[in-house]
């Protein structure tokens, strides 16, 4: 490993990813407006904390009420002199902004369905979920065991319109995500993606497994901006146990789809693949980073955060020391291959081991 030193802000973010944050009473009162609004919406494991913007455009989603937040190093409080938020960490005070939750939490559509069950905004991105539940059964995912529901296209468009009109947490780009479709729903998923892309005037990314030979080209033909083709676990035996359906697809299928997506987009950070840090040995994670970087794909390091109600709910997140080592060694790997740790969108880095480096390679959407 090289001699690169982490900054205090990087240490702070990584600590929050591993051990969470404590929210002081004054900060909680101010954030909840006297308990009138929630502190967080636990609709997904890696977005269930408070999202902070620190100096230097460092974003972090910090969990605060999970079982593993038993000994946090960081505390979010209110500066008594200024009334502004501050994070106390290892003897220092760091100014912070707390990103609000979207303004449509209680909005319902014409059929009385909560909009936030279909679309949810995080930082500057709206995530649209065509499918609730999943055809796959990954043991780290809170979709496991949920009833599989295919949402109508008009419901998705209506919900996205609500998110786009929100002035509390403005949306600058869209991610089509959610569960993997069943075989009989491949065409439906394609129709949904085409409709959303063609009816949206901002960038649309899609999170997709390589379940179809032509999925990459079809999305590109419709005008998709970027792809997230996530391998998640690189170690074959651990992948077989934890995510058997994705494991059966094989790394060769992921590599082929990633390479095709790079051909159709020209790269430049528009194709990324997520690796979960903490579910396999360090050397396997780094081998996965190199596998992706060699293809020309941006690896995304996602610290494992246990989801409630899953088989891995009692597994503690990786330590700060391990996260720091993975980050630093991954930086060296991606530099050798001329790619970056993703995502390139700076606000979307809130739940990943990624930091803006001051270059134009990282951006605000």
SS3 137: coil
Q: pLDDT tens digit string along 268-289?
A: 899 999 999 999 999 999 999 9
**Range list for CATH 3.20.20.70 in the chain:** 115-351
**pLDDT at res. 303:** 98
DSSP state of 184: G
Q: Are 72 and 20 in contact (CB under 8 A)?
A: yes
Q: 3.10.50.40, 3.40.50.1100, 3.90.550.10, 3.20.20.70: which CATH number matches 115-351? A: 3.20.20.70
Q: pLDDT tens digit string along 56-108?
A: 999 999 999 999 999 999 999 999 999 999 999 999 999 999 999 999 999 99
CA 311 to chain centre: 21
**pLDDT at res. 3:** 52
**pLDDT at res. 212:** 80
Tally of CB atoms within 10 A around 327: 22
CB-count burial class (<10 Å; 0-12, 13-18, 19+) for 128: buried
Range of weakest confidence among 1-15, 225-239, 256-270, 345-359: 1-15
Average pLDDT, the chain: 95
- pTM score, two decimals? 0.96
Asked if residue 141 has pLDDT above 80, the reply is yes
DSSP 249-300: H-HHHHHHHHHHHHHHH--TTSEEEEEEETSS-HHHHHHHHHHHHHHTPEEE
Q: pLDDT tens digit string along 156-165?
A: 999 999 999 9
Residue 71: partners with Cβ closer than 8 Å, 6 or more residues away: 19
Compute φ and ψ for 87, nearest 5 degrees.
Answer: -110, 125
């Amino acid at each position: 490993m090289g001699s690169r030193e982490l900054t205090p802000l990087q240490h702070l973010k990584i600590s929050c990813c591993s051990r969470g944050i404590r929210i002081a009473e004054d900060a909680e009162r101010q954030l909840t407006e006297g308990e009138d609004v929630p502190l967080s919406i636990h609709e997904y494991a890696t977005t269930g904390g408070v999202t902070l913007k620190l100096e230097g455009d460092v974003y972090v989603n910090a969990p605060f009420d999970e079982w593993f937040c038993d000994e946090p190093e960081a505390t979010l409080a209110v500066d008594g002199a200024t009334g502004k938020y501050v994070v106390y960490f290892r003897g220092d005070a760091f100014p912070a902004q707390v990103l609000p939750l979207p303004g449509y939490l209680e909005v319902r559509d014409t059929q009385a369905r909560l909009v936030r069950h279909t679309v949810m905004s995080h930082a500057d991105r709206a995530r649209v979920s065509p499918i609730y539940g999943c055809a796959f059964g990954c043991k780290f995912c809170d979709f496991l065991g949920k009833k599989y529901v295919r949402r109508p296209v008009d419901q998705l468009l209506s919900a996205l319109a609500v998110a786009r009109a929100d002035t509390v947490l403005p949306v600058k780009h869209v991610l089509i995500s959610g569960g993997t479709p069943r075989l009989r729903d491949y065409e439906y998923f394609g129709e949904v993606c085409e409709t959303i892309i063609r009816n949206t005037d901002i960038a649309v990314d899609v999170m997709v497994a390589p379940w179809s030979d032509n999925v990459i080209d079809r999305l590109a033909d419709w005008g998709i901006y970027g792809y997230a083709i996530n391998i998640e676990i690189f170690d074959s035996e651990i992948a077989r146990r934890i995510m058997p359906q994705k494991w059966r697809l094989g790394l060769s299928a992921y590599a082929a789809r990633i390479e095709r997506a790079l051909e159709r987009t020209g790269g430049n950070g528009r194709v990324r693949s997520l690796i979960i840090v903490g579910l396999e040995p360090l050397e396997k994670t780094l081998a996965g980073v190199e596998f992706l970087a060699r293809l020309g794909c941006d690896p995304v390091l996602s610290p494992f955060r246990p989801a409630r109600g899953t088989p891995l709910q009692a597994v503690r997140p990786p330590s700060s020391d391990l996260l720091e080592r993975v980050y630093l060694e991954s930086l060296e790997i991606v530099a050798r291959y001329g790619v970056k740790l993703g995502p390139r969108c700076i606000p979307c880095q809130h739940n990943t081991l990624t930091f803006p480096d001051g270059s134009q390679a990282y951006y605000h959407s």
